[in-house]
Structure 1
Amino acid sequence: MKQTASVTGLKDATPDHSLPPVFPSPALCLGGALCWGIAMAACAYVSLVMHDRLPSFHLRRLLVIYFAGGTAAWPILLPMARFLSRRRGAEVRFAAHFALLSVGTVAVTAFVFALDYRLFYAQWHEPFGTVIWAFQFAFTTAGAIYQFLVMGLTLYLPVGLPVLAGASLWLARAMSTAMR
């Protein structure tokens, strides 16, 4: 059977145990999500302190948005990065984690911000399901995402870049040790 499978180009059905699993352990998934959320909220907090914008009456809401974005992004992005880089070298694993965690965390946080933004403006919108409501929903969401990208993206810097690089390096190394 193995001989005919190799002739036709099909691999046998036995799993390759030398590759790390795509889905991380529950401890890494849940613990990492909480740590990543705390790290993203801390990045926003440090950035606000550095730019002397800390005395904001929206501080708690901002930190919750960044925490929620980081916490929700981790369990979605970690399996994606592991899947895309599991057959590759350490450099590709680092790059995959770095790219997906950075872009994905920003995207999920922008989405959370848009939901919060939408909740505020919903009181002036038309009833659910109407054509005007659909336009209001679409443009309010697009405006919120744009506003987040222009003003909220700066709250990840300067602390977020080293945190992102450290997490990506740690995740790439963890995958390497799992393969041994």
Structure 2
Amino acid sequence: MTGWNDTGPDHPLPPVFPSLALCLGGALCWGVAMAMCAYISLLTHDRLPSFHLRQLLVIYFAGGTVAWPILLPMARFLSRRRGIEARFAAHFALLSVGTVAITALAFALDYRLFYAQWHEPFGTVVWAFQFAFTTAGAVYQFLVIGLGLYLPVGLPVLAGASLWLARSMSPSMR
């Protein structure tokens, strides 16, 4: 029995957890792709000679590398009983939002590390407020300034990766 979700006796459900090669290799490729998106965006906007270029590229690489192995099983779990369109949408939505969120968190941690020298000692009430508001400010700053570094390259890369991942889950592609 086959149907809208390509599952049944002839088409078993694809596994939730990807192979180790897809997980680790994909994480490295996704991290490099996200760093390249930032680099190309800086290059096209003539902002490449930046004092913090290496640190910025490392943050984008780290965000992509950490996001991939977390988000890929989530997308596969949410879409494994669905057709290719839903699989594409799940991968597209989770990879985009999740990569941005994890990269924003990496940016916030780096931001917090810089401002920690002026904060109160760990564990105090004032420190908790400083930590919360510094992190919130860093995430906001990343969303306003750093989100644009994913464009123009990030959207086609995201669409291509999502399509490839959605098709790789289809029974005929395995």
Shift of 1:121: 0.2
CA–CA separation in structure 1 for the residues paired with 2:90 and 2:60: 22
State the match for 1:78 in structure 2. 72
Shift of 1:177: 3.7
User: Percent of aligned pairs with the same residue?
Assistant: 87
| Letter of the 1:126 counterpart | E
Matched, 1:28 2:22: yes
2:64–2:99 CA contact under 8 A, matched in 1: yes
CA–CA separation in structure 2 for the residues paired with 1:177 and 1:44: 35
Matches within 5 A, 1:92-131: 92-131=86-125
**Could you state the TM-score of these two structures normalised by the residue count of structure 2?**
0.93
Shift of 1:17: 7.0
> CA separation of 1:64/1:178 partners in 2, compared to 1, >3 Å: closer, same or farther?
farther
| Letter of the 1:32 counterpart | G
Shift of 1:22: 0.2
Q: 2:43 aligns with which of 31, 44, 49?
A: 49
**Could you state the TM-score of these two structures normalised by the residue count of structure 1?**
0.90
Q: CA RMSD in A?
A: 1.5
For these two proteins, the number of residue pairs brought into alignment is 166
Regions of 4+ moved over 2 Å: 177-180
State the match for 2:164 in structure 1. 170
* Partner deviation per Cα, 1:19-66 (whole Å, 9 max, x = no partner): 000000000000000000000000000000000000001000000000
State the match for 1:91 in structure 2. 85
Shift of 1:162: 0.1
State the match for 1:147 in structure 2. 141
SS of 1:19's equivalent? coil
| Letter of the 2:70 counterpart | I
State the match for 1:59 in structure 2. 53
2:167–2:173 CA contact under 8 A, matched in 1: no
